[in-house]
Amino acid sequence: MATWNDLILATPRQVGGKLQDEGPVALLEALLGTEGEQLVLLGHLPREPHLLRQGAFHEGRNHLEAAAKPQCSRDERLEHLKSASLCFTQALSAERDAARVSLLVLHVAMCRLLLGVPKESREWLTMAHQGAAETLKDILTEATGAQGFTRNRYLGGMLNFVIYFTSSATLGAGYLFWDRVMSKRADKVLRRALTRMEPLAAYVDALRELRFRLGEPTTGVPRYQVAHTLDAGRWVTRVTLRILVGEDEAEDFNGHDSRRVSRTGSERSTTVIR
């Protein structure tokens, strides 16, 4: 099985405005070989990873497998690639999840590249990269927002009950108890978000590198890093998405707002409107 890095290395590099021909079969084999990586990515999304095993996407992969066979002639390969691109495009119309859409768009981009249209391939890759990056933000926003904590009907009701009936004599002990309950709840929600975000972040980084392979300027293409903070009790208290927007500045997003941080140490907080 191949990794995202294998796909990057198999993608022809643009040198002097021209793509270096490194063989379509190697790129096809690398793309098909990332099935394991794709299953890991899809397995952490809300729905089961059936995308690879049925429907138009699966049919498109069958065309890619046929195009990768050594006995396939150039004309036959082109026809299979056109059919695969059409299947992936059809699958897009039925998909709503942004991360799954990004994976479909990546396959369209690779087909366009193999069909000799690198400009269109770069455009599709940009769409795939931006869509997957937005999904990272959405996962973190959901985990740290009202749905993750304040809208929990059981914890919210219990907490209000205890606050109402707790006397001042037992307030300290009650606070420590509920602090542990809420810390455990926060840890569970944030660890679940981390489990979903980490394979997605690796995928986003791979898309970034693919854009560079096809001649995209390095300036203006952000890099995303996922980090988390533990308290003394080893509970996860915060997950941060760091967006490296340039050589001198980065933007930290915690699910609620973003903080622009420069290498000089200055910070500026801005509210993110979702």
Tell me which long-range contacts 50-53 makes (C-beta under 8 A, separation of at least 24). 51/91, 51/95, 51/100, 51/103
58-93 pLDDT, tens digit per residue, is 999 999 999 999 899 999 999 999 999 999 999 998
Distance CA 159, CA 47 (A): 32
- Average of pLDDT values for 227-251? 79
Q: Say what the pTM is.
A: 0.79
Q: Check residue 207 and give its pLDDT.
A: 96
Closest CA to 29 of 66, 58, 68: 68
To the nearest whole percent, how much of the chain has pLDDT over 90? 37
